[in-house]
Every structure is written in structure tokens, then in C-alpha cells.
Structure 1
Amino acid sequence: MKKLSSLLFLLIIQNVFSQFFTASGNPDQYVPVVFRPTTPDGGNRTFFISRPNIHEDIMWSAHGVVAITGIGNGWGSNGNSLSVNNFTYGTESGNGTAIISFLGRVVCAQANNDIVVYLRGGLKYYYVNATLISDTGSHQDQAGQNLSTVSINDPLYNLPKGSYFGTFDINAQTSNFASIENGNVGIGTSKPQYKLEVNGKSSFEDNMRVNAKLEAKEIKVTLTPTADFVFAEDYDLPKLEDVEKHIKEKKHLPEIASAKKMEKEGVNVGEFQIKLLQKIEELTLYTIEQNKQLKIQKEEIELLKKHMNSNNQKNR
């Protein structure tokens, strides 16, 4: 009962102290709006921005709520970080058109602890736990940060429903971590297309190794270049004699790490697959060349047989 009373009290306080404003610009734009979520004594707190009705101001315009916890850069304090829970939904110009969140992007201010939130322009917003500092369609501060209004079709904007974490900037392309409404999880990307998508390179030296079994129906590794350079006219195909010598001395294929090294340092799956493909393509070239030699030898044998048969007939 005590918890219920506390919750009701919090809801009443939020309703009493929530404020509203109409963002500058128009619904075809995302505009930078500056909020200061600090308390009077200098602390930081989570603040909320919402639109309770999808038809408010403009039919089918975005609605929902976003919770933002953030600390600005504060003149290089390195304490900047962002956590965003985005539950917003809307459409571009009517039911059935492109989905447009009212939240476009969230950026830490560089000169202080303010948070710059890109909101869809021309719409009415309610906010609580923050002070509205600026809504002019642009943001410039003493640290040199310069942000301006953009189109809603800009690929860096329009965050999908989900939860995000970042250090300075959370946009529609990149964030340190993202978990969106369809269940996809992204590391280094804000719009993961798979159940787990990692955008970035990790190494054994600077990352924790997890001793676990991974089971998946499909894993897609995107890596360039591939191994098709083997088929280029100027590719220097190793001589088989040199390959044989390397194997006898090193006990593993050229350009492939030894078993001992793999056990110690692990294997980069993408790079290893390319190396294996390279060796398969080299083996294919060896096989093609051997096939040519076999054809020549077969033709020579046939000619030799004919010559021998001819001589045998003459000697009879």
C-alpha cells in the first residue's frame, strides 16, 4: 500500500510540474532542442519528453514517451554519457506511410551538462525533470559545437523504438549498444538487422574472452576484400615445391597460423574464412593446371600408341 501511495504521489507531482512547448520548424524536420536536466543543487536526473496523442497538432504525427539520462561533455570532463529509452511512434504524412519517431537524435552538449535532443518540428511536447534552455532551430555553444535543423529523411536521424547507450552521440546509425522493439540487439549500430549484429573489430588483447558455446542458425560475417584476387592475371601463384618445403619445415600451410598460435590467441573467424577460401582457390588453380598437363600427356600417349602400332604393322 505504501509503494502504491508513493507511485501515485510521483504521478501527481509529474502531472503538476510537467510543462509543454511547440517545437520550432515543421514536421518535415528534426530540430535541436536543448534541455538542462540538472537539479538546483547541481545533480543530474532522468528527464522525460512525451506526446500523449498521435493526432495532437497534426493527424498521425508521432506520439509516445522518451526517457533520457545523460551528462554533457562539460568542457572535456570525459564524464559524458547517454542512456535513452525511446517508445515513440508516428508516420510521415498519414496512416500507412513511413514510420517517423518524434525522437531523431540525442547529443551531449560540449560546453556544459546540457543535452541536445532532436525532436520532430512543429509538434507540441510535454516534458518533466528538465529545464528547456533553447528551441531556436539551431544550437551553438562556446566549445564550438554547431548543430542545426535537418530533414526527417536524413539517415542519421529517426531512432527506432528501443533502448540505447552511448558516450556522446546516439543517432539512427550508431550507438554503443542498442536493443530495439523487434528483439534485435546491436553493438556499434542503432538499427541491427539481425538478432545480434556487431559493427566493429575486436581483438584478443583488449577484449574479454568468453569460454562458451555459441549456437546459431545463421551467422553472417561482412569482410572486404575477399580472396578473388587469386584469380587476377598478375597473381603470383606459389610453386608447389615451395608449398611442400614450407609444410615440411613449419607443419602448417603458408599464411595460415599454426595450431599452437590459434590455441593461444584464438581465430578471427572472418579473416580465417578468407584465408581458407584463398587456399581453396589456389588449389583450384593447381588442379586446373594439372588437368591441362594430364590432357597433354594423354594426347602424347595416344600419339605414341599410334606410332607404335604403325611400326608394328610395318614390321610384320
Structure 2
Amino acid sequence: MKKVYFIFSFFLTFGAFAQSGSYFGRYAGGVGVNQNALERASAIGYNAKVSVSDGLVLGDTSLVKVGIGLSNPRYRLDVKGVFNTRMAYNSPVYKINDRNFLELDDEGQFVLNSFKIKYANENQWSDRVFEKNYPLMSLKEVEKFIAKNNHLPNVPSASEVVEKGVAMDAMVSKLLEKVEELTLYTIQQQKEIDALKKEIKQLKK
């Protein structure tokens, strides 16, 4: 009799088994208009509810914190250690708010979909190039630097990139910095060209 009572209590406390689903935890079970027709659906944890076939739900929809490799998860999914994701070609492996984020192309190369880089303050951007006190190197100085170092000033060398990698936000800013410096050089050269044209025109007279 005690054995029967124990089994009955277990089902009341930890859930129920059915041909169509498995539920473990107090108040765990199916939900929705099709809850009685669910196939291979599972809900695990306190107040865990599943409403689709072939679905696996862990914990309450508002309280659950799932931890893997740690005992004190702070987020909905908190993982400590290395995890691997296998993906098919031309199929997204990660979606954010139902939008594709990361996938593989036919050659197995990663494809990162549309995203933005956000900067903490204006000093991280390159517009300081246009400030009056910006120390713009002369083209002769740039030429000497390139001859000595084989890369542009304020840009990491190939060996540094291989050893340390690059931060994308910093690299985007550095590339724009060089474009803005080229713009200033072009403006200077155009002024010199205009001055030479004017001088030649006067000499012709």
C-alpha cells in the first residue's frame, strides 16, 4: 500500500507521462487549445508549459534560468565552457527575433547578416582628423614611415594582426581615418593645382 501511495505522490509532484507527452515538475504540462493532441511534447520544471508538438520547454516562461556547467545561472541560458553548434549550408544557425543572424554559405564560410557597431563616445570615431589641431603628417613623412614599417601610420601591421587580431569597431574607425586623411591631402593638392594654374595663366599673359 505504501508503495502504491509513493508512486501516486510522485506523479502528483513531478508530473505525468502520456503517450503524447512527458511532463516533469509541479504544474508542468500542456497548454493551449491543442494541448490534448500534442505529440512528443515535453515540459520540465516548475510550471513549465508546452503548446506545440515536438517541443521541449524548460521551466516557467518568466522565471526559468538554465545553467550548463555552472550552478548559479543568471540568464535564461547561462553556459560556462565550450559548446559546439552544427549547421547546414545555406541555413541559419542563429536567429534573433526571427531574423537570420549567422549562417554558412555553399563553401562553408560564415555569413554574418546585417548588424550595427555601436560606439561608447565620439572619441572612438575618426572625425578628429578634421579638427584644426590634428597632427596630419606630410606626404613625405608618410612615405618614409611606409618605407621603414611596410604599413600605414596608426594601422596595425600584418604581424600584429596575426598575433593579436583586430577589434572590428576600432578597425572600421581607423579605415575611415585614412579615408579622411586622404581627403585632406586631396584638398591640399587641389589648392596647389589651382594656384599653379593661376600662375601659369598669368605667365601666359
Q: What band does the TM-score fall into relative to the shorter chain?
A: 0.5 to 0.7
Runs of 4+ in structure 1 displaced over 6 angstroms? none
Kept in 1, the 8 Å contact 2:126–2:173? The answer is yes
| Distance change in 2, residues 1:253/1:305 (3 Å) | same
Percent identity over paired residues: 28
Kept in 2, the 8 Å contact 1:83–1:166? The answer is no
Q: Distance in 2 between matches of 1:297 and 1:65?
A: 73
Q: Distance in 2 between matches of 1:276 and 1:261?
A: 16
Unaligned runs of 5+ in 1: 1-7, 20-45, 53-62, 71-78, 85-162, 168-181, 186-191, 197-211, 307-316
Query: With CA pairs under 8 Å and 6+ residues apart, which has the higher RCO, 1 or 2?
Result: 1
2:116 matched residue in structure 1: 220
2:96 matched residue in structure 1: 184
Deviations 1:133-188 (A, max 9, x none): xxxxxxxxxxxxxxxxxxxxxxxxxxxxxx43279xxxxxxxxxxxxxx9428xxx
| Distance change in 2, residues 1:14/1:83 (3 Å) | farther
The answer to whether residue 199 in structure 2 is matched with residue 294 in structure 1 is no
Kept in 1, the 8 Å contact 2:66–2:78? The answer is no
TM-score, normalised relative to structure 2: 0.54
Unaligned runs of 5+ in 2: 1-7, 17-24, 28-43, 51-59, 81-93, 103-107
Kept in 1, the 8 Å contact 2:117–2:169? The answer is yes
Kept in 2, the 8 Å contact 1:50–1:65? The answer is no
2:138 matched residue in structure 1: 239
Give the drift of 1:235.
1.3
One-letter code aligned to 1:304: L
Higher strand fraction: Structure 1 or Structure 2? Answer: 1
Q: Distance in 2 between matches of 1:236 and 1:14?
A: 71
Match of 2:180 among 278, 281, 293: 281
1:254 matched residue in structure 2: 153
Give the drift of 1:15.
6.0
Match of 1:165 among 51, 74, 78: 78
Kept in 1, the 8 Å contact 2:65–2:78? The answer is no
| Distance change in 2, residues 1:274/1:193 (3 Å) | farther
| Distance change in 2, residues 1:18/1:251 (3 Å) | closer
Kept in 1, the 8 Å contact 2:129–2:181? The answer is yes
Kept in 2, the 8 Å contact 1:48–1:66? The answer is no
Higher helix fraction: Structure 1 or Structure 2? Answer: 2
Give the drift of 1:219.
3.6
Give the drift of 1:217.
3.4
1:130 matched residue in structure 2: none
Q: Distance in 1 between matches of 2:49 and 2:114?
A: 39
| Distance change in 2, residues 1:234/1:48 (3 Å) | same
1:14 matched residue in structure 2: 14
What's the secondary structure of 2:73's corresponding residue?
Answer: strand
Kept in 1, the 8 Å contact 2:26–2:46? The answer is no
Give the drift of 1:67.
3.8
Q: Distance in 1 between matches of 2:101 and 2:199?
A: 60
Kept in 2, the 8 Å contact 1:50–1:64? The answer is yes
Match of 1:230 among 115, 129, 132: 129
Give the drift of 1:275.
0.7
TM-score, normalised relative to structure 1: 0.37
Q: Distance in 2 between matches of 1:14 and 1:217?
A: 43
Give the drift of 1:69.
5.4
RMSD over aligned CA atoms reads 3.9
Kept in 1, the 8 Å contact 2:101–2:114? The answer is no
Number of equivalenced pairs: 142
Deviations 1:13-46 (A, max 9, x none): 3369958xxxxxxxxxxxxxxxxxxxxxxxxxx8
What's the secondary structure of 1:290's corresponding residue?
Answer: helix
1:48 matched residue in structure 2: 46
